[in-house]
Amino acid sequence: MLETRGLRVVGDRVLVDGVDLAVAAGETVGLVGESGSGKSLTARALVGLLPRGLRAEGSVEVGGAQIVGAAERLLRGVRGRRISLLMQDPFTMLNPLRTAGAHIAETLPGRTSRQEIARRLAEVGIDDPAVAGRHPFQLSGGMRQRVALAAALAGDPDLLVADEPTTALDATTQHEILALLRRVQEARGMGVLLITHDLRVAFAVCDRVAVMYAGRVVEQGPGAELAAAPAHPYTSGLLGALPSVERAMERLVGIPGAVPRADEVAGVCAFATRCDRVTAACTAARPPLRPIGRDRLTACVHDTAGPAGTARPPLPETALPTAPPVLRTAPPVLRTAPPAVCPAGPAGDEPLLRVEGLRKRYGAHTALGGVSLHVNPGETVGLVGESGSGKTTLARSVLGLLTPDGGRIRLTGLDVTDRAALGPRERARVHRLVQCVFQDPSTSLNPAMTVGAALAEATARAAPGDRIGVAELLELVGLPAAYAARRPKALSGGERQRVAIARALAVRPALLICDEPVASLDVSVQAHVLELLRGIGRDLGTGMLFITHDLAVVRQVAARTVVLLKGAVVEEGTTSAVLDAPAHDYTRRLVAAVR
């Protein structure tokens, strides 16, 4: 179905440098790696949709048709019929002004009947024909992704390129979409190239997995074999950074440093500057992909294959090359930071946060139907549930961004249910008491402001005796003081999230609400940020309400877990009890979806 040979993506510099891939009929091949490895650019090169200013070189054949250098007229005949692209965010594929049925109809050849559109929707698990008349904003995230999949499949392609199709979905919806994709693939004999940074997904559903780093493939082989015995140190590092859903890990360790540019490491092992087993042989020349067994390839010059997650003895350190320094991004021990100060509340065992019988409706939809929970000082409580379960509505209520219809919210003993009813001084005090870290740090950082200016603006809102310097805030989240002069666009995703955390801590809040703070991060960066958040809870005594759909993440950070379903608490308890012996059928389904 697909064969690429020496694929390069070039603009002002080389971004993808010599990728060889093949996908057979009925086969699923995974392409994994950190952000910046070149995965998405590779996907767009395969369908002839590179951004302006970039061009593909080498060879890409789809069903015998050459994509590289082909005229747009030829590409229009190939896209959607021989090869189709499914993207991470269905909003990037679906026009908000067009209905679901219209998206499918424009891809189907010839005249399209309502019955055919309904059949295509049913193929992706949408049995209600009325969905064809709805616009994207009227559908849930999982439903939008199903419609996007139906549109991508409408031309009956031989090959589907799925670029992070489940990253933003909760565990059960993700499981359903992947199972659906597998059924459609088997029914059609379609090839699938699945691009993802979620190693669990790749190893669970892919026949073969290719690991990409700095614009090149560094390891390739059957998914089960790579998961059990990675041959390249980079693959081993990614697997070692995965949080476990089975147990709380003593320490989460990510790979230090960041992915280099492809052209900067063109003649050497691209991973050399981040590898603790580097030798002179690694930088003498670019290691080629070499066979190490049946269907196994690696670009490491050393024989390093071994069980995933196990420590291997370091290689000889003779004649080590001079490598550029890398930023060691592991969070520091938070010894010098001032402790979080919780304003005095009523005496006794009053929790830091107490939510009682919270209710909120949007028209006929009940978002919260009487939710109660509490967070103690210094405690992290996980809040899990599918999209639409009420997690974000609860968080927005606690933050004062909306007023609930009923119930009560108390923060350090102060009733904060209706912020409008508070006086100016009380509102300022509550603002300092609770802060939020969002999923996408770019939405909470002004791109026109330097990091230092953003942090200075935030710390100015702290009480005069509690103000923390910009350099101290950066040190608190494991970033050099020099980063104060940078703007958000000059930072990686993980670095931006660290700045967002520093900004939230600038007023020394008693409670931090973390709303999917690592959902969009690579596994290695995720490990660094989770370890940082664990340190904040442990060393600063800051309470956290940690909202996530990832049960492996909640296992690592939360002492207790609350499970929401359709606006109601269906189970709560210690995280180990909830995940190891779930009592509610819904919780059991959530756990089963990730095991």
**0.75 exceeded by pTM:** yes
Q: Kindly tell me the sign of the dihedral angle through the C-alpha atoms of 549, 552, 555, 556.
A: negative
- Residue 567 CA to residue 390 CA, distance in Å, equals 5
**Do the beta carbons of residue 429 and residue 466 sit within 8 Å?**
no
The ranges of the chain with pLDDT < 50 are 309-348
**What does the pLDDT read at residue 315?**
33
Fold of domain 2-229: Rossmann fold (3.40.50)
Within 10 angstroms of residue 133's Cβ, the number of other Cβ atoms is 13
Sheet-wide strand order for 511-515? 434-437, 511-515, 543-547, 380-384, 560-565, 568-574
How many other C-beta atoms are found inside a 10 Å radius of the C-beta of residue 479?
23
Rounded to whole angstroms, how far apart are CA atoms 437 and 94? 28
Residue among 554, 574, 580 nearest 243 (CA): 554
Whether residue 371 contacts residue 506, with contact meaning beta carbons closer than 8 Å, is answered with no
Q: How far apart are CA 278 and CA 317, in angstroms?
A: 7
SS3 assignment, position 393: helix
Which is it for the CA torsion 574, 575, 580, 583, positive or negative? positive
The sign one gets for the Cα dihedral 108, 114, 119, 125 is positive
Same fold for the domain at 2-229 and the one at 353-592?
yes
Strands 353-362 and 406-411: antiparallel
Q: Using CA atoms, how far apart are residues 514 and 400, in angstroms rounded to an integer? A: 15
Element (H, E) at 592: helix 585-592
Q: What type of residue is 571?
A: E
- The tokens describing 527, both together, are 């490990």
Strand, coil or helix: 337: coil
Element (H, E) at 202: helix 199-205
Nearest CA among 437, 448, 529 for reference residue 492 = 529
Q: What are φ and ψ of residue 283, in 5° steps? A: -115, 10
Kindly list the domain boundaries of the chain, sorted by start residue: 2-229, 353-592
In a 13 Å sphere around the CA of 346, the CA atoms on its Cβ side amount to 11
Q: Name the superfamily (CATH) of residues 353-592.
A: P-loop containing nucleotide triphosphate hydrolases (3.40.50.300)
SS3 16: strand
Amino acid symbol at 586: Y
Distance CA 555, CA 176 (A): 22
Give me the pLDDT at residue 109, please. 67
Q: What is the DSSP letter of 465?
A: G
Q: 59 to each of 3, 36, 209, how far by Cα in Å?
A: 8, 22, 21
Q: Do residues 223 and 235 make contact, with C-beta atoms less than 8 angstroms apart?
A: no
What is the predicted pLDDT for the residue at 341? Answer: 37
Q: CA-to-CA distance for 252 and 530, rounded, in angstroms?
A: 7
User: Token pair of 389, please?
Assistant: 């379960």
Check residue 592 and give left, alpha or beta (phi > 0: left; psi -120 to 50: alpha).
alpha
